[in-house]
Amino acid sequence: MSRLILPYAGLDAGQPASLSPDYRSTVARSPRQTPIAIPQTLTEVTGPTDWSRLMGPAMADLTTQHKAEPQGQRIVVTGRVLDENGRPVPNTVVEIWQANAAGRYIHAKDDWPAPLDPNFTGAGRAITDAEGRYRYVTIRPGAYPWGNHKNAWRPAHIHLSLLGPAFATRLVTQMYFPDDPLIEIDPIANAVPMPYRQRMVSRFDIGTTVPNWALGYVFDIVLKGRDQTPFEDDHDDEH
Partner 1 sequence: MTTNTDLESRNAAPRQDSQDPSIFGQTPWQTVGPYFHYGLPWKGGADLVGRSDMGARPDLMPPEHFLLSGSNVSGQPEGEVIALSGCVYDADGKPIEDAMIEIWQANAKGRYASPDDDRADVALDAHFVGFGRASTDKDGIFRFRTIRPGRVPGPGNSLQAPHIALSVFGRGLLKRLPTRFYFADGDGNETDPILALVPEARRHTLVAQRKPDGTWWLDINLAGENETVFFDL
What residues numbered 41-80 form the site for partner 1, per CB under 8 A?
A: 41-56, 59, 65-66, 79
- Out of 69, 87, 131, 170, the residue judged to bind partner 1 by CB under 8 A: 170
Query: Quick one: 111 or 212, whose CB is closer to partner 1?
Result: 111
Residues in the chain: 239
Does residue 172 interact with partner 1 by CB under 8 A? yes
Q: Does 126 bind partner 1 (CB under 8 A)?
A: no
DSSP string, 128-197: --TTSEEEEEEEPPPPEEETTSTTEEEPPEEEEEE--SSGGG-EEEEEE-TT-TTGGG-TTGGGSPTTGG
203 a catalytic residue = no
Partnered with residue 138 across adjacent β-strands are 75
Piece of the chain touching partner 1 by CB under 8 A; list 68-76, 92-100, 131-139, 206-214: 92-100
Q: Which of 141, 174, 216, 228 binds partner 1 (CB under 8 A)?
A: 174
Is 27 near partner 1 (CB under 8 A)?
yes
| Residue 144 annotated as catalytic | yes
- Asked if 88 interacts with partner 1 (CB under 8 A), we say no
Given 8, 23, 105, 134, the catalytic residue: 105
Q: Determine, following the binding rule CB under 8 A, whether residue 215 of this chain makes contact with partner 1.
A: no
Options 76, 168, 214, 216; binder of partner 1; rule CB under 8 A: 168
Binding of partner 1 by 221 (CB under 8 A): yes
Q: How many residues bind partner 1 (CB under 8 A)?
A: 101
- Please tell me whether residue 139 binds partner 1 under the rule CB under 8 A: no
Per the CB < 8 A criterion, the answer to whether 104 and 114 are in contact is yes
The reply to whether 123 sits near partner 1 by the rule CB under 8 A is yes
Instruction: Report the alpha-carbon distance of residue 119 to residue 138 in Å, rounded.
Output: 12
User: Shortest CA distance to 49 belongs to which of 219, 164, 146?
Assistant: 164
User: Residues 132, 206, 80, CA angle at the centre, nearest 5°?
Assistant: 10
Q: List all residues 6 or more positions away from 59 whose beta carbon is below 8 Å from its beta carbon.
A: 65, 123, 124, 125
Give 23 or 134: the residue with its C-beta nearer to partner 1.
23
φ and ψ at 53, to 5 degrees?
Answer: -70, -25
Phi first, then psi: what are they for 173, rounded to 5°? -140, -175
Nearer to partner 1, 108 or 212 (CB): 108
**Active site includes 23?**
no
Q: Smallest distance, Å, CB 237 to partner 1?
A: 14
